[in-house]
């Protein structure tokens, strides 16, 4: 059993690029799943994984970097940036949630 445990940990941490026990590895996997689910709340309008279908006027988000996406959403949340729906939606998310959304959907800097 001890061997199984360490094998499990090794494989999972290998998959995730994280060193640690199985619980920690599972924790990271779970968090990644929930981050994905949170970002998926955007997909109805902006497309699965933030990739829109062609020829629509809804602003495309998948070319924004993680930091710019986060800034824009925070500006919608604070009322600094005008818009139709996003100012109303951004106010419903916490700052931490907007950070997660940007980390999942934004292009990495």
Partner 1 sequence: MNRRHFLGQSAAVAGLAFGLNGQASASSLKSAQIVVVGAGYGGATAAKYLRMMSNNTAQVTLIEPNPQFISCPLSNLVVGGSRKIGELTVPYAGLEKNHGVKMIKDMVASIDRQKKTVQLASGQTVKYDKLVLSPGIGLMMDRIEGLEAANKAGVTLQAWRAGPETTALHQQIAEMRDGGVYALSIPLAPYRCPPGPYERVCQVANYLKKNKPKSKVLVFDANQDVTSKGKLFKEAWAKLYPGIIQYMPEHNVTAIDAKTRTIKFEVQEDVKADVLNILPPMRAGDLIVKAGLADANARWSNVNFLNFEAVAAKDIHIIGDSIQVAPAMPKSGHMANQHAKVTAAAIIAELSGFAINPQPVLTNTCYSFVNETDVVHVASVHQYVTAEKTFKTVPGSGGLSPAPTALEGTYAWGWAKNIWADSLV
Judged by the rule CB under 8 A, the positions of this chain that interact with partner 1 are 4-5, 7-8, 12, 21-23, 26, 29-30, 33-34, 36-38, 40-41, 43-48, 52-53, 56-58, 84-85, 88-93, 97
State which residue, 68 or 89, has the beta carbon closest to partner 1.
Answer: 89
What is the CA 106 to chain-centroid distance, rounded?
A: 8
DSSP assignment letter at 43 = H
Least distance in Å: CB of 18 to partner 1?
Answer: 14
106 touches 67 (CB < 8 A): yes
100 touches 106 (CB < 8 A): no
Least distance in Å: CB of 109 to partner 1?
Answer: 25
């Amino acid at each position: 059993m001890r061997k199984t445990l360490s094998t499990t940990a090794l494989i999972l941490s290998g998959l995730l690029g994280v060193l640690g026990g199985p619980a920690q590895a599972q924790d990271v996997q779970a968090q990644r799943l929930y981050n994905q689910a949170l970002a998926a709340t955007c997909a109805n309008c902006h497309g699965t994984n933030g990739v829109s279908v062609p020829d629509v006027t809804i602003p495309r988000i998948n070319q924004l970097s993680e930091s710019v996406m986060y800034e824009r959403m925070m500006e919608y949340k604070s009322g600094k940036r005008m818009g139709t729906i996003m100012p109303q939606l951004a106010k419903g998310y916490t700052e931490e949630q907007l950070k997660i959304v940007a980390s999942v959907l934004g292009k990495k800097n």
